[in-house]
Every structure is written in structure tokens, then in C-alpha cells.
Amino acid sequence: MNVIFMGTPVFAEVILKALAGKHRVTAVVTQPDKPSGRGHKTQPPPVKQLALSLGVPALQPEKVRQRVFYSALETYGADVFVVAAYGKILPKTVLDMPRLGCVNVHASLLPKYRGAAPIQRAIMAGETVTGVTIMRMDEGIDTGDIIRRERVEIGPGETYGSLVNRLAQTGAGALLEALDDLEAGKAVFEKQADSDSSYAPMITGETCVIDWDKPGAAIINLIRALNPEPGAVAPLEGFKVWKAEPFPYAHSHKNPLPGEIINGDKRGLAVKTADGAILITEMQAKGGKKMPAADYLRGHNMPAGWRI
């Protein structure tokens, strides 16, 4: 089957690799190259890098609502378009183009967590189960009919970095099975229950700022959800927090406020939260490297009572 694949990050790269092993990927559509890293050098997205290594042409339109883009897609004569974390909303003209339609690999159990950041938002919410949905796309945001769903458990303390890879692997397998069903005319389409839906908006700079007035579990979940990127940020000091765990805290006469340091030692940096405290065990200064909190404290004076 001839396929055009649309995707951008590592999640999509894993799926593209599996797809190319079974079907003929005639072209890839991905986001334009963007500055990345400390030097802000322009870098191609992971999907483009893989496409080039496979000898597959990569299209990187700035806008998808253009006749020149439509014409480019039509030249490849694809039977189906497969979309996975592309990052742009496709117009009806594109959705109606392939004979088998457009199929999306979405990293949640739809209709829960529709939107741009389903994996991160599930971790932030303290979910213990998520999954992958293969759906036939329509003009809504992740509202299309479901073809296949696969559940995936979220491990205790699991980060976005580890979960996204497991979901991508699961999604790749589910996608190949769904494409087999589509090609054979055996696919069963299930309408989504809109009443059970929830939304997973994109991650912004504001999302990343730690709110010490929240319970410790919620703060730890935020840190997990933003590891390995973009990282949770201490609002006053500006350093990033990469790992943290619950910290047993007994109230004292000093009665620290949320965001105040309780103590710092070889175990890490203990910080007051709304309902207790957490222990930061890995952190990163602005422009610095990730390091154990104990190493960070050797070069930074952060006494008890200091607000971060």
C-alpha cells in the first residue's frame, strides 16, 4: 500500500520506521527545520532525518492550506495518509484526498485527552493507565471514528521520556493492524462519546512553572511529565527540576511557606509544598548541565528558609 506519512517528533519517528518496514512510504510531511539546543543551530525534525536516511522525500510546508501543497500531495498517489503528532490541523481538502482516508495515531485512549499534549497531560493528572488510539480523521480535533485502541499502563514514577517511547511502539503495532483491516475492507469504525471527552492543550512556558501552593504529588507529576523536555522550572530561582520524590515532613514552629527550602544535604533539596514537602534529587541551573541536587548545592548557597 502506498502511504504518505505526516509527523514530526520522536513519537512519530518510531511509527514511521515501523510503517516503512511494511508499506511503501512515498513521501513524508513534517514541520520546517527549527533552531534547537544551546547554540540555536537549525535542526531538522526527527521524522525528516529518518525520511532522508530511508531515501523518502520530505515536504516541509510552512502552511498546509495552499494549492501548491495540495498539488504536491496528489503527485504521490497515496492510498492513505498516516498522521502521528504532525502539529498542524489538516483541511478537508487534504483529508478527502486519499481513497482510504487519513488515519491518525493518537497517544491517549480517546475520547480522553484530545489535543496536542496527551502524554504529558495524562502524567500531570496522575493517571495510571493511558494508551494509543488509531482513528479515521475528520475536521475536528481528535474527534474521528475509532478503528483500534490499545491500553498502556503508566509505571510509578515514569517520565514522559520513557512513556512516549512505549506508546510509540504500541501505536506502531496497532497502526499496522488497522491498515491491514482498512486494506481488506474489514475495519470497524466506532463513534466517540463526546460526553466522555477531555482536552490536552499544548505545553507552554507557563505550564512549566512549578506552583508550590499545589500538593506535593501534583508537583512531582508535573516534573515527571516535563522530563526530558522542556523541564519544570522553579519560579523564583529559575533552575529546572528533573527528578523529585516525596519527603517526610513534620510541621515545626518555624512553619515554612510553600516554596521555602526546608533543608539541603547529600540526599537533595527539600522544599515545602501545600501539603508537606518534596525532595529534589536532580536539577539544572540556567545554561548549566543536569546534575544531582547534592552536587548543585555544593556550588550554590541555598539555606533553609530561602524561597525558590
Q: Judge contact between 5 and 30, C-beta under 8 A.
A: no
What is the percent of the chain with per-residue pLDDT over 90, rounded to a whole number? 93
Over 60: is that where the pLDDT of 137 sits?
yes
- Give the pLDDT score at 249: 80
Q: How far apart are CA 57 and CA 72, in angstroms?
A: 11
- Give the pLDDT score at 190: 98
Q: Do domains 2-196 and 216-298 have the same CATH topology?
A: no
- Of 5-19, 63-77, 129-143, 241-255, the poorest mean pLDDT is in 241-255
Q: Span 2-196: which CATH code?
A: 3.40.50.170
Cell of 195: 460526553
- Give the pLDDT score at 37: 65
Q: How far apart are CA 192 and CA 138, in angstroms?
A: 12
- Give the pLDDT score at 292: 97
Domain extents in the chain: 2-196, 216-298
Instruction: Please compute the mean of the pLDDT values over residues 193-220 and round it to a whole number.
Output: 97
- Give the pLDDT score at 296: 95
Q: What is the model's pTM?
A: 0.95
* Coil, strand or helix at 190: strand
Residue range 216-298 in CATH 1.10.10.10: no
